[in-house]
Amino acid sequence: MTPFRLAVPQSDLDDLRLRLSRTRWPEPETEPGWAQGVPLEYCQELCRHWEKHYDWRATEARFNALPQFLTELEGLNVHFVHLRSAHENALPLLIGHGWPGTVMEMLDIVDHLVNPDDGEQAFHVVLPSLPGFGLSERPASTGWGIGRAVTAWDELMSRLGYDRYLVHGPDWGSYLAGAMATRLPERVMGIHAFGAHHVCQLAVPHLRSRPRGDVVLISSQSTQSFDPNSAPYTMAKAGLEALAFTLAREEARNGIRVNVVAGGLVNTEMGRRVAKGALGVDDIHDLDRNVPLGRVCEPEDIASVVRFLVSDRCTLVTGQRIAVDGGGFGR
């Protein structure tokens, strides 16, 4: 393993600013707002920010404050961040990122996990960059799919000295989390993943073979950009809760419990119609009586949920532990 520091040449930054300044803009839209796509004014403002105001060196310094390394996995040089907690009871936690994205997505939550408040569960955090993303080497041929990534990430955890570990991931990271839980049950203690449908498809069949376990579906900040009385917000919550109720009905006979941590459907006319049509509930408040409800919005809240799921205080989850985020259904 080789220590790594990020250092983008100044000439690359100068070239980017020059190309931004020379953007040829189209005519403005004929209708105000977003009905015809991204408004010209919004796009120009974003471009000005990147050209004149964004401080890449500050971001670079923040990133370089973390211990980073390169190591060869499955024939490629893979970049990763490894943060060890000073707490004796810390648990190893592998965190994957999404597409398109980098491990920088996770910088706001790592300190809450590595250095928690007194008495809370701590984690040793490992953040690998997917091949071809961020700072990892790009594959020169086909074949780098989920299976190969599972093998590579498990080998990385072995090299770091972790025999058993947890996995968290959004987007593509959730595919990896689900695959790791099903293929490496003796190594993966549990997963917390963003992306409900595919993780359930991967993980629930494995739970049936136990036969015990729980699925906790979590709604995240992704719905918070919508007005609580809007159709997208309502449908996002409906999708999550419909999935929870469907799984709960189908999997009860297999010893699998399904719970939701979410804000719940809003008490509007649309919310009531959705509750009646999609969930078969006459009174929207019946949802509260059937499923434990809460909300997860901020980075520290996400960290606290991960911490809770592996604690002795957790009564929602037993056996194989799986948490799935469904907040993106409204997008």
Would you name the residues annotated as active-site residues? Answer: 233
Q: Compute CA distances 82 → 93, 123, 139, whole Å.
A: 10, 11, 23
Question: Please, what is the Cα angle at 13 between 10 and 17, to 5 degrees?
Answer: 140
Quote helix, strand, coil % in the chain, to nearest 5: 45, 20, 40
Q: Which helix (H) or strand (E) holds 10?
A: helix 10-21
Q: Which two tokens stand for residue 31?
A: 């209708």
Q: Which helix (H) or strand (E) holds 85?
A: none
Q: Which two tokens stand for residue 63?
A: 């990133």
Task: Report whether 82 contacts 66 (CB < 8 A).
Answer: no
The number of helix segments (H) and strand segments (E) in the chain equals 11, 10
Exposed e or buried b per residue across 86-104, where buried means at least 16 C-beta atoms within 10 angstroms of its C-beta: eeeebbbbbbbbbeebbbb
